[in-house]
Structure 1
Amino acid sequence: MDNLSIWTYSVVGLTFTLYIGIAIWARAATTAEFYVAGKGIHPVANGMATGADWMSAASFISMAGLIAFNGYGASVFLMGWTGGYVLLALLLAPYLRKFGKFTVPEFIGDRYYSQAARIVAVICLILASITYVIGQMKGIGVAFSRFLETSYDTGLYIGMGIVFFYAVLGGMKGITYTQIAQYCVLILAYTVPAIFISMNLTGNPLPQLGLGSEYIQNGVASGMSLLDKLDQVIIDLGFKEYTTQTMGNTLNMFAYTLSLMIGTAGLPHVIIRFFTVPRVADARYSAGWALVFIAILYTTAPAVGAMARLNLMDTIQIGPIGTETGNLKYEDRPDWFKKWETTGLLEFEDKNGDGRIQYYNDKNEGFAAQAASYGWKGNEMVKVDRDIMVLANPEIANLPDWVIALVVAGGLAAALSTAAGLLLAISSAVSHDLLKGVFKPNISEKAELNASRVSMAGAIVVAGLLGLHPPGFAAGTVAIAFGLAASSIFPALMLGIFDKRMNNTGAIWGMASGITVTLLYVFQHKGFLFIPGTEFMMGMDPNWFFGISPNAFGAVGAVINFAVALTVSRLTAEPPESIQALVEDVRVPRGSGAAPHLSAALDH
């Protein structure tokens, strides 16, 4: 066993021991502890746990990979995922916490005085959460396959077992404290390598500043910025300019960002975290602290993506383009290359038989013609999975073994933390909202707790099996989940809080129409999403509605939801007076003396 393997097993083993120990120590004994951690979490701790819950495999593993290959265009993820938290903090978190229910479907069922509305909300929640957790399973499979140097499928099965143990045992109480530890691991794992690499490439220890600093080549200042150097390298190989590349047209960029923002504010596994704090004001503080903790990673991600792409290109293109010695010999490929080949996430094909690796954009007709004159017969890096870039980056940059091991532990922490939160949201919807709320209102607390654990175990199995063949890279799959939440849950929550005239008929028709239109659009264009290893190119399908990609269509679904809900509610009967009073009271700050009906309305 080499030094890297020893470091990796040691660091990952220690972190897993910590997670499992916390899960055993904080295991849930009641349904209140299982669903909302007994409502006793400090807002700073809850903000940290929310950050870990939020910064999933898509954030830690996949987002920088997207930025690496899509440049400026991938900023939609940064803007959407952080902007969504502002919406959540201002428009939803304090009001939902004041309402005081365990789950999102429970809020919708009570606010819209309808079991049918609750059931529709459960269906929407499960569809969005299962889609989201598939993306986490992709990240778990990627991280474990590299950590154990095995196939992606085997890595996924092992990861499923780990999630099963601590999520099923601890519930929200165990998950919360585990996620605090996981945040510390993942943020160190993300920022420490970024500091090392930024120092190597620019001499600046802050990656956020290093991104725009002067590029240092072989210890000598190059006279150009890092981004200018990256633009030059990839343009010379036929790729699009990094700093101006977009993901489709302007409308698609806007719709994508909006879908991610309102999807963030509508995701149940995030919203449920604001029920774990003692007071209403703590919900708003939690959202603010979560944004701070998230910003540390999100402001680092652009530098990580750009530096990873530059290091990758420089590793393969070692000399002047078109010369005999310009490309890396396959037999001389570094160890990190060989290990990622083992996972099946990195593949090479020697198309011209010269034993060297040609990595260029053979879809660019102009450059492909030029490449043919060099004797090149096509791009030979036939698969470079975007989700490997963050984990491979420290190895490509020849960082110390302990740093590489820390990144593996961080990737696993990110994927496991969010998977646990999502699985809890799914199990709560099944056991609390369907079983207790609809089918068996008199079920005992112990039976409900057992049902929660059984439904969580079932969700792990389903998500894991779907994760064996995910619909693309982790962040792309997660974007679809955000679209489903944006088109169904977010409008129902917003209208439930801010429109006292909104009735149950309008809410049900709105949710059903929004998510149906979004799903139909996604499946109509599933060919784009379900081709493994394809280039992530946006705005290429002429059949897209105004050039809006399936990943971004949740924004359109949300508009349809709002329009249908508002129209139907105005054409049907008003809600009962007690419900209208409840809506008024939920929006009034505590202590104002203007909320006399709240407790009565909640009891009603």
Structure 2
Amino acid sequence: MDLKTLTYLVVGASFVLYIAIAIWAKAASTGEFYVAGKGVHPVLNGMATGADWMSAASFISMAGLIAFLGYGGSVYLMGWTGGYVLLAMLLAPYLRKYGKFTVPEFIGDRYYSSAARIVAVVCLIFISFTYVAGQMRGVGIVFARFLEVDLLTGLIIGMGIVFVYAVLGGMKGVTYTQVAQYCVLILAYTVPAVFIAFQLTGNPIPQLAFGSTVVEGKAGGGAYMLDALNKIVQDLGFLEYTAGGKSMIDIFAITAALMVGTAGLPHVIVRFFTVPNVKDARSSAGWALVFIALLYTVAPAVGAMARYNLTTTIQTGEVGSKDGNLAIADVPEWMTRWQATGLIDWEDKNGDGHIQYYNDKNAAMQAKAEAFGWKGNELHVDRDIMVLANPEIAKLPNWVIALVAAGGIAAALSTAAGLLLVISSSVSHDLLKGVMLPDMSEKAELMAGRIGAAVAIGIAGYLGYNPPGFVAQVVAFAFGLAASSLFPAIIMGIFSKKINREGAIAGMLTGLVFTMGYILYFKGVFITPMAENIPANWLFGISPEGIGFIGMILNFVVAFAVSRVTNEPPAHIQHLVEDIRTPRGAGIAHDH
């Protein structure tokens, strides 16, 4: 069976499964729509959290960034994994004990203010839409390649699927759909990794193959995988794969922003409201970490193997030599298929009929290239295609390639659905029901939530069609916004009795405005010649991906300063904070 037909069958079967689950688990009440009726088993919730967590950024883009950044890409692994631990230990059990539906509801109650609740909703919407832009781009990339449609058509198809199971099923439908999506995406990620690891090193375990020797007959055969890759990329003028490409302060800031941003992500936090009690919240956090680790420990190997396969495909002879490059007439079929998407392309600048792939910004390589008569690098590869293209580059069976397509779509759609539900619940539950129309009936609130989700899907599709960067970069911006706005308000709300509403509101707005402004200045519509995205122009040398760390510090400082010069929180609020942290009655959710 040809690849296109097989892909349609595999991806179509996964869609039928997701929609069937959504219909089976249709939300019949606001409790089921927002938090799945608080009845999800901790193992299933851990699996659903894993799917919610491992978005298109994890599945599609993270290994692609590691492939090209090498050691520098480790910040994403450290930040996202460490952040989940932070969330599980510092926030999840306490928020579950509090027992409300949403993060803005907690902030509104804790800071005894509708204004604080509204500010939290605004922060949440900025975070969620920034995040969902990356997911929808991932959906478009997968459809554009494997269903052979243009990016816009792919986005429309993806939006339609999300509409059915997010709008109809609510959190209950999304939770059980995400369990199925986790199974699909983890198989889709690990199966090709096992194949390729065995091909390159003879070791089928990717985590071990990463440190094994390359088999004889391959480029660098007999050398350790990373040593072989280092030599190959350095011979082309690229930075050594195992060397860091970022400053220490930027690595620290990005890692910290990703960690605390993770702990402030509303669509992940809300997962801990879906279990019956506090004990199950802790248990599901542990299970989620296990399920997340299955992919995150494989990602470095996938990135390294993808970079190796791509480079050795283009270098048919001695790496970096005059005659060692792939002839355009011999371009493999996988490159032609991906070229149609516009995500990989080449240009014969010197007219020699070959593709020169090298770092034309490296001075030593420039001199060497000029001696060969080369006119600059001729290959351009979008980093986001590396995981999806790797099985094709390695010439794996068509069923494996089709499985990867289904996994990429599952990863993007699972997180997109969770984010869209968070947006809709913020509008319907926190703004309409909580502030504007407190007497709204449950039926009307449920309808408002579904309408909000539908509108959010449309906006998400537009942002996915016009994203400000690579999937993982866009997602990193969302984490920075979460780190600088919601995380400090939540953590202070749990562990400090002295932070009042004025301090919380001032802190959230300061962190959000500063971080969003910085990102837009360097990555958005306000780009000027003086604001080019280069380290020399960054504040303290910190990139837009890491600036959320500074925004978080500003949030804390402003919140504490304003709280000191304004009235203390009321006594009942201070007792509430003490009660949230008290371990008595562990295993029982206390509603206030």
TM-score scaled to structure 1, two decimals? 0.95
* Displacement after TM superposition at 1:353 (Å): 1.1
Q: 2:483: which partner in 1?
A: 486
CA contact (8 A) 1:212 1:227 kept: yes
Q: 1:449: which partner in 2?
A: 446
* Displacement after TM superposition at 1:321 (Å): 4.1
Deviations 1:283-304 (A, max 9, x none): 1111111111000100000000
Q: 1:237: which partner in 2?
A: 236
Q: 2:505: which partner in 1?
A: 508
* Displacement after TM superposition at 1:6 (Å): 2.2
* Displacement after TM superposition at 1:157 (Å): 2.0
Q: 2:409: which partner in 1?
A: 412
What amino acid is aligned across from residue 501 of structure 2 in structure 1?
N
Matched, 1:473 2:470: yes
* Displacement after TM superposition at 1:492 (Å): 0.2
Matched, 1:254 2:248: no
Matched, 1:577 2:571: yes
SS of alignment partner, residue 552 of structure 1: coil
* Displacement after TM superposition at 1:147 (Å): 1.4
SS of alignment partner, residue 537 of structure 2: coil
CA contact (8 A) 1:189 1:409 kept: yes
> Aligned equivalents of 2:218 and 2:513: distance in 1?
57
> Aligned equivalents of 2:524 and 2:234: distance in 1?
29
> Aligned equivalents of 1:277 and 1:426: distance in 2?
21
Check 1:302–1:530 CA distance in 2 against 1; reply closer, same or farther (3 A cut).
farther
> Aligned equivalents of 1:379 and 1:279: distance in 2?
57
> Aligned equivalents of 1:494 and 1:153: distance in 2?
40
CA contact (8 A) 2:522 2:533 kept: no
What amino acid is aligned across from residue 437 of structure 1 in structure 2?
G
SS of alignment partner, residue 542 of structure 1: helix
> Aligned equivalents of 1:539 and 1:530: distance in 2?
9
* Structure 1: 5+ residue stretches without partners: 532-537
Q: 2:85: which partner in 1?
A: 86
CA contact (8 A) 1:201 1:217 kept: no
What amino acid is aligned across from residue 428 of structure 1 in structure 2?
S
CA contact (8 A) 2:57 2:471 kept: yes
Q: 1:558: which partner in 2?
A: 552
> Aligned equivalents of 1:89 and 1:125: distance in 2?
20
CA contact (8 A) 1:44 1:286 kept: yes
CA contact (8 A) 1:539 1:548 kept: no
CA contact (8 A) 1:472 1:530 kept: no
Match of 1:390 among 387, 396, 416: 387
Q: 2:53: which partner in 1?
A: 54
> Aligned equivalents of 2:443 and 2:463: distance in 1?
31
Q: 2:31: which partner in 1?
A: 32
Deviations 1:567-590 (A, max 9, x none): 111111111111100100110113
Check 1:527–1:455 CA distance in 2 against 1; reply closer, same or farther (3 A cut).
closer
Q: 2:535: which partner in 1?
A: 541
* Displacement after TM superposition at 1:125 (Å): 0.2
Check 1:296–1:79 CA distance in 2 against 1; reply closer, same or farther (3 A cut).
same
Match of 2:427 among 430, 440, 443: 430
Deviations 1:103-137 (A, max 9, x none): 00000000000000000000000000000000001
Matched, 1:185 2:179: no
CA contact (8 A) 2:521 2:527 kept: no
* Displacement after TM superposition at 1:223 (Å): 2.5
Give the length in aligned residue pairs: 589
* Structure 2: 5+ residue stretches without partners: none
SS of alignment partner, residue 335 of structure 2: helix
> Aligned equivalents of 1:299 and 1:237: distance in 2?
28
Q: 2:583: which partner in 1?
A: 589
* Displacement after TM superposition at 1:539 (Å): 8.7
Match of 2:286 among 282, 285, 288: 288
Check 1:530–1:225 CA distance in 2 against 1; reply closer, same or farther (3 A cut).
farther
> Aligned equivalents of 1:166 and 1:322: distance in 2?
51
* Displacement after TM superposition at 1:151 (Å): 2.1
* Displacement after TM superposition at 1:592 (Å): 7.8
What amino acid is aligned across from residue 388 of structure 2 in structure 1?
L
* Displacement after TM superposition at 1:355 (Å): 1.5
Check 1:192–1:510 CA distance in 2 against 1; reply closer, same or farther (3 A cut).
same
> Aligned equivalents of 2:320 and 2:233: distance in 1?
14
CA contact (8 A) 1:471 1:530 kept: no
What amino acid is aligned across from residue 475 of structure 1 in structure 2?
A
Deviations 1:534-576 (A, max 9, x none): xxxx994311011100111000000000011011111111111
* Displacement after TM superposition at 1:153 (Å): 2.5
> Aligned equivalents of 2:321 and 2:578: distance in 1?
73
> Aligned equivalents of 1:592 and 1:291: distance in 2?
21
> Aligned equivalents of 2:357 and 2:153: distance in 1?
29
CA contact (8 A) 2:520 2:526 kept: no
Q: 1:159: which partner in 2?
A: 158
More displaced 10-residue stretch of structure 1: 474-483 or 520-529? 520-529
Check 1:358–1:577 CA distance in 2 against 1; reply closer, same or farther (3 A cut).
same
Check 1:163–1:337 CA distance in 2 against 1; reply closer, same or farther (3 A cut).
same
What amino acid is aligned across from residue 33 of structure 2 in structure 1?
F
More displaced 10-residue stretch of structure 1: 5-14 or 180-189? 5-14
What amino acid is aligned across from residue 339 of structure 1 in structure 2?
R
> Aligned equivalents of 1:219 and 1:138: distance in 2?
34
> Aligned equivalents of 2:362 and 2:149: distance in 1?
35
Deviations 1:324-343 (A, max 9, x none): 64111112211111111111
> Aligned equivalents of 2:88 and 2:586: distance in 1?
21
Match of 1:309 among 307, 310, 313: 307
* Displacement after TM superposition at 1:356 (Å): 1.0
Q: 1:365: which partner in 2?
A: 363
> Aligned equivalents of 1:221 and 1:64: distance in 2?
22
Q: 2:340: which partner in 1?
A: 342
CA contact (8 A) 1:128 1:484 kept: yes
* Displacement after TM superposition at 1:373 (Å): 1.1
Deviations 1:307-333 (A, max 9, x none): 000000000111024656411111221
* Displacement after TM superposition at 1:529 (Å): 11
More displaced 10-residue stretch of structure 1: 571-580 or 522-531? 522-531
> Aligned equivalents of 2:230 and 2:533: distance in 1?
21
What amino acid is aligned across from residue 391 of structure 2 in structure 1?
P
CA contact (8 A) 2:61 2:470 kept: yes
CA contact (8 A) 1:76 1:256 kept: yes
> Aligned equivalents of 2:401 and 2:175: distance in 1?
27
What amino acid is aligned across from residue 257 of structure 2 in structure 1?
S
RMSD: 1.9
Matched, 1:104 2:103: yes
Aligned positions of 1:215-226 closer than 5 A: 215-218=214-217, 222-226=221-225
Check 1:528–1:298 CA distance in 2 against 1; reply closer, same or farther (3 A cut).
farther
Check 1:109–1:368 CA distance in 2 against 1; reply closer, same or farther (3 A cut).
same
What amino acid is aligned across from residue 296 of structure 2 in structure 1?
Y
Q: 1:535: which partner in 2?
A: none
Check 1:323–1:235 CA distance in 2 against 1; reply closer, same or farther (3 A cut).
closer
> Aligned equivalents of 2:220 and 2:478: distance in 1?
44
SS of alignment partner, residue 216 of structure 1: coil
> Aligned equivalents of 1:276 and 1:106: distance in 2?
15
Q: 2:324: which partner in 1?
A: 326
What amino acid is aligned across from residue 457 of structure 2 in structure 1?
I
Deviations 1:415-442 (A, max 9, x none): 0000000000000000100010011001
> Aligned equivalents of 1:366 and 1:156: distance in 2?
43
